[in-house]
A and B are shown apart, each in its own frame.
Chain A
Amino acid sequence: MRFLPMMLLCVSPNLQAQTGGVDTPEVFDHWRSRVVQIQVIDQQAQTKAGTGSGSFVGKPGWILTNYHVIAELANQPGQYRARYLSDNGQSGPLELLAVDAVHDLAVLKAANFAPPPLRLAEQSPPKGTRLYSMGYPYEIGLSIVEGTYNGMQDKSLYEKLHFTGSINPGMSGGPTLNQSGEVVGVNVSTAGNQVSFLVPAQFAAALVNSARDEPVGADELNRSVTAQLLKNQDEISTRLLSVEIPTTNLNGYRVPAALAPYISCWGDSEEDQPKELAHVYYDCQTQDDIFLNETLYTGVIRYQHGLLSTDQLDPLRFYRQLEEQSSYPQLYLEGEENTVTNYRCQANFVDHSDVTYKLTFCIRRYREFAGLYDSYMTLTSLVRNDEALQSTLVLGGFSWINIRNLSARFIEAMRWSDPGS
């Protein structure tokens, strides 16, 4: 246990990385006692409902993990409890102290077990640094995965580190360490093929610093998560509304393109011969979302433009096909009856920039998080008898005023100029 602090005194972490001063077995042996498995237990079934990993950080007994690991405990404290299980077989109950739902972090406290905490790295390492991810994958015991740091994840709405190494289910919430044993990030997700993501240590430090050393009640927790979500969506909206919406051209229609770097757009087209109904699609969405529970992912922006045209169908049949297509929601947000209300919708004509749109707008409310809504807006241009633009915008987990402002800006960014004129 004294080996690494001595090395720290002698060798800078960067130098260690370059020289490979510490090997993987040493890292594993020195820090294995700081990593525990976290089990969420169903009180009625008296068995595991889910597992993850965690590491000791901050004050004695404090364990850092992912919010999604203990979401059931946070949402239904009466139905679930949590416990830790250490590498040497020690186990005990856990109490929830604080969560950061936006960055998928939570701090728990273990009773009667407080090994010396890990330190949180103050800055991200250089790209290419050797890192070690630890956790309990598939309940097959504590594992260590060696990989490299590859910088911040591009196009991410919620900052994440890109770790090239295999993080597997069960390792969520576990630490990824540098060779000095500092927590660089918290394991959170994987895209497969050794593409994994970590929550940066700076967010963990912020949460640990703000947490109080006493269990958080259900009401306080709900208020805290609601405030985090409201603040987050407000920041996203303010940034989006402060700049001009970039547009792209779809055969004379200028439509919103990638609103921000964290929104990724893809296009496709299908055309039949003869052309009964041709489609040009343009789909955009945020690359990640905020996990609240198994059926509620929030903080998302998705939109789609479809340009449909025909040279075979008469106007009545063409618009009947458009009607048929727009009867089925093109974009989908999950939700269950206990988490969200039913959608309520209104439809009307809207005139903007010499174009009339048939606009349907729907919203639903989050039952547990006051002030947050999902919206579904779809519009069809009414300009030509043989061509129409159908656009859909879905906002997940925004306040009413931001839904209104973002939806209005989305429409206002649209323009049409007759390509034939």
Chain B
Amino acid sequence: MTELQEQGVVSAEVVAGVIEMLNRNGQVTQRVPWNGSKLRVGRAYDNDIIINDPYVCPHHLELLTESGSRMVQDLGSVNGTYSGKKRNPVNTMALQDGSVIQLGHSELRFHLASGEVAPTRKDMTRRGVLAWLGKPRTLLLASLVALAALAADAALVNPEQLRLLTMAGDMLYPLIALLIWAGFWSLLNRVLIHQANFQVHLAISCLGVAGLFFSTELVATLSFAFGVDDWLPWLGLFSNVVVLTAVIYAHLRYATTVPAGRQLVIATLASIVMFGTPEIGVVIARNEFSSLPYLEPLLRPPGFRLIQGETVDGFFDQAQSLREKTDRD
């Protein structure tokens, strides 16, 4: 029941149309059933539809029916009434299904009661992986996995004996970054659909951090195992893009209401930009002159090697092509 219905201004049985109030993002903030009788719209408290917008007059416009047509009529407002994307000034105008009228910084949209609404969307956040992400125990598990990944990362690059305080120091900045990332998505979620879902976004972020660490290590270790060091930059980029796409997609599923296909496209593009842009920088840097060789050794313990090595002659036979490329530089 709307406020007007509660006040008895209109009755649900005779509704012929609906007036939607839109916010700046075009989202509907309120729907008022309209049976065709005259409705006055403005900022004053005696209006049928009250709009809290300082650029709207106390009595700004009227919605009425004339000769069976739904009409809007400006009441001589200071800032005027407009329609359509081109903001055509309106004095009196007939309303069609979907007509949008602008007054002040606010918008109203008219729909016929018989107009079709979008199909009911399945709530994927209540089932499958997305539902699992929302559970408290998932957050606990994700936090532990993320901490393990950050600790492993800090330990791997630390040449000294591991000390808890040092490790905590090394992990501090990544943890802060993780919280900022989760907070950003939570804020976006709050703005777009009025729910913060911080717990869910934190769980997704934690799993993302762990996913990026373990996928990077896995790809590097496999590249070492099979002696395909040359592929590592591209394999690493690919795996990072895949993981980040999954992470952003999961965030978008919660934070926005756009269709899943578009969410996936947005997530993929954002991931490519986020990891691809630095990669472009690396490629440019590599092509710039350096008097030092660009060494990218991949080293893992001997047991990780899964292929036979070349003979010394075999290695330098392959290096012949290196020489030919150098001759063309």
Q: Which residues of A contact B (CB under 8 A)?
A: 274, 276-277, 295, 312-313, 315-324, 326-329, 332-337, 340-352, 356-365, 373, 376, 378, 380, 382-385, 400, 404, 407-408, 411-412
Q: Which residues of B are found within 8 Å of A364, using beta-carbon distances?
A: 293, 326
- Closest Cβ–Cβ distance, residue B40 to chain A (whole Å): 74
Would you give 30 A-B contacts (Cβ < 8 Å), ordered by A? A274-B161, A312-B161, A315-B301, A316-B156, A316-B300, A329-B293, A332-B292, A340-B291, A342-B289, A342-B290, A346-B230, A347-B229, A347-B296, A347-B297, A348-B229, A348-B318, A349-B307, A352-B312, A356-B309, A358-B298, A358-B299, A359-B315, A364-B293, A364-B326, A373-B326, A380-B297, A382-B301, A385-B301, A385-B302, A408-B316
Residue among B158, B161, B291 with max Cβ neighbours from chain A (10 Å): B291
State which of B295, B301, B307 has its C-beta within 8 Å of the C-beta of A345.
Answer: B295
Cα separation A35 to B291 with both chains bound (whole Å):
39
Task: Flag if B310 contacts A348 (CB, 8 Å).
Answer: yes
Q: Which residues of B are found within 8 Å of A360, using beta-carbon distances?
A: 295, 297
Contact size range, B: 35 or more
- Closest Cβ–Cβ distance, residue A254 to chain B (whole Å): 16
With CB as the reference atom, state the residue of chain A lying closest to B217: A316
Cα separation A383 to B301 with both chains bound (whole Å):
8
Task: Flag if A327 contacts B305 (CB, 8 Å).
Answer: no
Cα separation A384 to B293 with both chains bound (whole Å):
27
Task: Flag if B296 contacts A362 (CB, 8 Å).
Answer: no
Q: Which residues of B contact A (CB under 8 A)?
A: 155-161, 227, 229-230, 287, 289-303, 305, 307-313, 315-316, 318-319, 322-323, 325-327, 329
- Closest Cβ–Cβ distance, residue A343 to chain B (whole Å): 4
With CB as the reference atom, state the residue of chain B lying closest to A326: B297
Task: Flag if B326 contacts A328 (CB, 8 Å).
Answer: no
Task: Flag if B291 contacts A334 (CB, 8 Å).
Answer: yes
Residue among B161, B292, B319 with max Cβ neighbours from chain A (10 Å): B319
Cα separation A356 to B306 with both chains bound (whole Å):
12
Task: Flag if A346 contacts B309 (CB, 8 Å).
Answer: no
State which of A277, A316, A350, A383 has its C-beta within 8 Å of the C-beta of B311.
Answer: A350
Q: Which residues of A are found within 8 Å of B227, using beta-carbon distances?
A: 348-349
With CB as the reference atom, state the residue of chain B lying closest to A347: B229
Given A350-B309, A365-B326, A365-B329, are A345 and B156 neighbors across the interface (CB < 8 Å)? no
With CB as the reference atom, state the residue of chain B lying closest to A361: B319
With CB as the reference atom, state the residue of chain B lying closest to A277: B159
Cα separation A320 to B311 with both chains bound (whole Å):
25
Q: Which residues of B are found within 8 Å of A321, using beta-carbon distances?
A: 159
Given A342-B290, A346-B319, A350-B310, are A320 and B157 neighbors across the interface (CB < 8 Å)? yes
Q: Which residues of A are found within 8 Å of B311, using beta-carbon distances?
A: 350-352
Cα separation A326 to B294 with both chains bound (whole Å):
11
With CB as the reference atom, state the residue of chain B lying closest to A407: B316
